[in-house]
Chains A and B, each alone.
Chain A
Amino acid sequence: MHEDLMQKISQLLDDELPQKEALSLLQKIRTRSDLNNKMRRYEAITYAIKNHEMSVSSTSDFVASVSSRIQREPTYMIPNAERRVVRERRLTRSHKIAATAASVAIIAFVAHTQRHEPASNIQVATAKPPVKQVPQMAEIETPRDSYPVNQQINDYLQAHSSIYTTNDQAGFQPYAQVTHYSQK
C-alpha cells in the first residue's frame, strides 16, 4: 500500500483532505478491502488516542468481528427490564468496550461518506444508459434554479430555443425582436 494513500486516509479522518481528493479516496476504499481495513484501524486508533481511556485491538478484522457478533445477537422480544438482565448476563466488559468502539467507528465512517459524496455522483437508474463514464473532473458544481427563474434567464431561454416558448406560461413578455400583435 502506498505511503501517500495511508497519509490521505489519515488526513481524511482528521478532516484535512480536500473534497475532491476525499471523494476519490472514498471511491477507492469502497472497492479495495485493504484500504477499507486500514481506514477502520485508523479510526479505532484515532478514537482511542482522543479518548485516552481504552485500548483496542490492532488486528485488522477487529471491528469487523465485533460487528458480526452484534449482527448475531438475537432480537429480544421481551420487556426492557428482562432484556437488560439477559444482556448483562451474556456480555462481558470487553464485549461492551468492543461494541462501543465498533459503533463509533461505523458512525464516523458513515458521517465521512455522507459529507464528502456530492449529490451529482448518485447514479440515476435508467435502462442501459448509452453514455461513457467520464472523469469526475469534468463535473462542475452548479447551483440549480427552479421555475420561475428571473426575467433575464427566462429571456435567454426563449431566445435560445422555440422549445422554451412552447413550455412557457401564457402572458410572458415577448422579446422585442419578434413581431407582436393582438387579434382583438
Chain B
Amino acid sequence: MTVVVRFILLFFFSIGSASAEDSKLTAKQILANMIQAMGALNYEGTVVFLRNSKLETMKYFHAAEQGREQERLVSLNSPLREVVRNGDQVSCRYNDTQTVVFDHRPYERSFLVNFSRSLDELANLYDFALSGEEDVAMFPAYVIDIRPKDEFRYARRIWVEKLQFLPLKVAVYDLSGALLEQVVFTEQHVKEALPFSEVQSANANSQSQAIKDNNPGKLRFIVTNPPVGFKEIYFARRTMHDSRLPVDHLLMTDGLASISVYMENKNPDLASGPRSVGVVNFYSRNLDDYQVTAMGEVPPLTVKTIAEGIGIKYGSR
C-alpha cells in the first residue's frame, strides 16, 4: 500500500470519526456543562455525605442571581447546624449554642465537588471518560470517570443528570478501587429562584493572604519537587490548638485534590510519620525546631513526598 493510499484512508477515517462524535457529548463536555450548571442554576435537594464511615444527611440549597451565588447545607440530624457559603466566605451556625463561625476560604467553590482549575489543565493529570449511564435519585445520569494518570491522586466518578447537567453523585476511590467517600443526592429539584439566607458578615481577616504568581508571601518554608500538578494557591498564618502560637498553613492543589501543609513548633503529641483519618492521609516530620505536616485526600505517597520536600527558608519571618 502506497503512502498516498494510506493517507487518503486515514483522512476519510478521521472525517467519519469526527462526524460520529459530533452527535454525542464527550466526558469533558459533560463536565464543562456540569461546572456551568452548578454555578448558574437554582436548585435544592437532600444530600447524603458518606465520609469516614459516617453518614450525614443534609438539605442542600444553591441560589444564584445576577452573578451572585450562595450555597447552604442544613443538617437534619444532631448537631443541628447550617453551613453557608457566600463567595469566599463560609459560615457555620450551630443551633444549640447559637454560635456562628466564619472562615475565609477563597480556594473552595462547592461543598459537592471542587474544580479549581480548567478542565484543559486537569486533562494533563487526569483522563476523563464517559463510562455509561445510570439512574440516580430517579434521574437518568451520565457516569463520568476521572482517572488519575499517576499514583499521586485518587480517582473520582461523577454521575451527572442528563437534562440539567447537575451532579447527582460524586464518589472517590483509592488506588485499589475501593470506595473512600461519596456524596449522593436522594432528591433534587431545580427552581426558578431560591431565597438567599441572610448571614451576618464577618470582619475582614487580616492574618491571611492569597498566594499569587511571583509573590510567595511570607512563607517560612518551601516545598521542593512536589508531585506534578500540585501548586501553591493559598497561605495563611493561623493560631491553632488554643496555643496562641502561629501555624503556617499552605494549601496546594492539582485542581481537584488539595493538600494542606502546616508548620509549627515541635509538638510531642503528634508523632512523626504517616497516619490517616478516614480518607485523609497525613505525614509529619520534624525539621529543626519545627514540625511539618502534609495532609489531604490523596494517597499516602503524595503527602509523604510533599512532607519530605519541605525545607525551611531561613531569614523569613
Contact = CB atoms under 8 A, between A and B. Distances in A.
Contacts of A129: 155, 173, 176-178
Contacts, number: 199
A165 interface: yes
Interface string B73-92: 10100110101010000101
A69 to B, nearest CB: 39
A156 B297 CA distance: 13
B92 A143 contact: no
Q: Is chain A's binding surface mostly helix, strand, loop or mixed?
A: loop
A171 B94 contact: yes
Contacts of B241: 151-152, 155
Interface residues of B, number: 81
Contacts of A131: 147-148, 154-155, 173-177
B293 A156 contact: yes
Interface stretch (B1-9, B62-70, B202-210, B217-225): B202-210
Interface in A102-150: 120-121, 123-124, 126, 128-135, 138-147, 149-150
Contacts of B236: 159, 177
A158 to B, nearest CB: 8
A152 B269 contact: yes
B202 A160 contact: no
A123 B176 contact: yes
Contact of B177 (A123, A141, A184): A123
B193 interface: no
Give the top 3 A-B pairs by smallest Cβ distance, nearest first: A129-B177, A170-B79, A124-B178
Given A126-B178, A130-B146, A133-B176, 10 more contacts: A142-B281, A144-B275, A150-B270, A152-B240, A156-B282, A156-B293, A157-B277, A162-B111, A167-B49, A171-B99
30 contacts: A121-B176, A126-B178, A129-B176, A130-B129, A131-B177, A141-B274, A142-B274, A143-B276, A147-B52, A151-B242, A152-B270, A153-B270, A155-B241, A156-B240, A156-B282, A157-B295, A159-B236, A159-B240, A160-B251, A162-B105, A165-B103, A166-B83, A170-B94, A170-B96, A176-B238, A176-B244, A180-B100, A181-B99, A182-B98, A183-B98
